[in-house]
Amino acid sequence: MDNMYRFMDIWNGLLTSFPEKQLAVYGKTLVRILFIVVALMIAGRIGRHLIDGLLRPDRVPGSWDERRVRTVQGLLKSLLRYSLYFFGTMMVLGELGVKTESILAGAGIIGLAVGFGAQNLVRDVITGFFILFEDQYAVGDYVTVANVTGTVEEIGLRVTKLREGSGQLHIVPNGEIKQVTNFSRGGIAVDIDVVVAYEEDLTRVIEVINRVCRQASVGNPVVLEEPRVLGVKRLGKLGVTLQVFGKVKPMEQWSFARELRMRIKDALDEAGIKRPDPRRMILCSKDKGAESDGPDAV
């Protein structure tokens, strides 16, 4: 209770130290600032709903897919957010008695003064626009940028957010993106190695594998180019390596390759085709000075 009374005494002292008219002015200013903040929050929510409503798949050009629509939505929302921050700051400063006209008039001088420090920011924003309008990648694409590989979750004015398969979220400044490798455009290669023993008839082995590839491709919507055996890829220590190559839709290469490997393995087992087993050859020799009936050294 003593602390409560002490706080009330301090509060009453603060109130009595200001003239009544001055308190009224401060109160009105505070109310106007709160009104500005609430109005900007409402404007931001309305703006986001408008962006989502106007940029629907049925209202955009036919050449735009869903991923490109989501990319443009994210960029416009980012632009809206920064614009509201700027105008809100100017309005609040105006309510506090700061002459915003002089700030805007001196923007050129200030920009020149901080230009060297803002070079990275400007570079990030400009690169972000080029990424969007050149359609280098979109939300949902699987890409490698700045030595980071993952799925694009968001493209903003300044940064691109990538999610790795293991769950890590990487935030990459757009200005750091010098090269883009997009795994979600066009056909993606499926490259499988099949190793068989040297004793096997390669012509028969290739026929079995090609038959499996045809069966896996018929009626499969993800297959763009039917896999087939290209030939002998390597003559190794254990056996002969055959290369199986085809093309599928983006992001389908891993699941299709797993299924095809399993089918090839089952077909080879059914046909009695053996895979090579590890072998080791040991040569035994007898020292010239050893006795004839003594044990051989290995």
pLDDT at 22: 54
Determine the topology of domain 122-182 in CATH.
SH3 type barrels. (2.30.30)
Q: Which residues contact 49 (CB under 8 A, 6 or more apart)?
A: none
Task: Quickly tell me which residue has 């056909």 as its tokens.
Answer: 187
Q: Give the pair of three-digit tokens for residue 105.
A: 């008039």
For the ranges 35-39, 104-108, 174-178, the lowest mean pLDDT is seen at: 104-108
Does the CA dihedral 15-19-21-27 come out positive or negative? negative
What is the 8-class DSSP label of residue 80?
H
How many residues are given for the chain?
298
Judge if pTM exceeds 0.75.
no
Q: What single-letter amino acid sits at 295?
A: P
Residue 141 to residues 188, 224, 293: CA-CA distances in angstroms?
13, 19, 74
Among 3-12, 75-84, 137-146, 209-218, name the most confident range.
209-218
pLDDT at site 113: 47
Q: State the architecture of 188-270 in CATH terms.
A: 2-Layer Sandwich (3.30)
- pLDDT by residue (tens digit) across 33-56? 788 888 888 888 888 888 777 776
pLDDT digits (tens, 9 = 90+) for 192-225: 999 999 999 999 999 999 999 999 999 999 999 9
Q: What is the pLDDT of residues 274-292, one digit of tens each?
A: 888 776 656 666 655 544 4
Range list for CATH 3.30.70.100 in the chain: 188-270
Bridge partners of 247?
189, 225
Let me know: does 200 contact 189? Beta carbons within 8 Å: no
DSSP letter string, 142-192: EEEETTEEEEEEEE-SSEEEEE-TTS-EEEEEGGG---EEETTSS-EEEEE
Cβ-based neighbours of 61, under 8 Å, separated by 6 or more: none
Q: Is the pLDDT of residue 166 over 50?
A: yes
Name the segment(s) of the chain with CATH classification 1.10.287.1260.
2-114
Indicate whether 232 pLDDT > 80. Answer: yes
2-114 folds as Helix Hairpins (1.10.287)
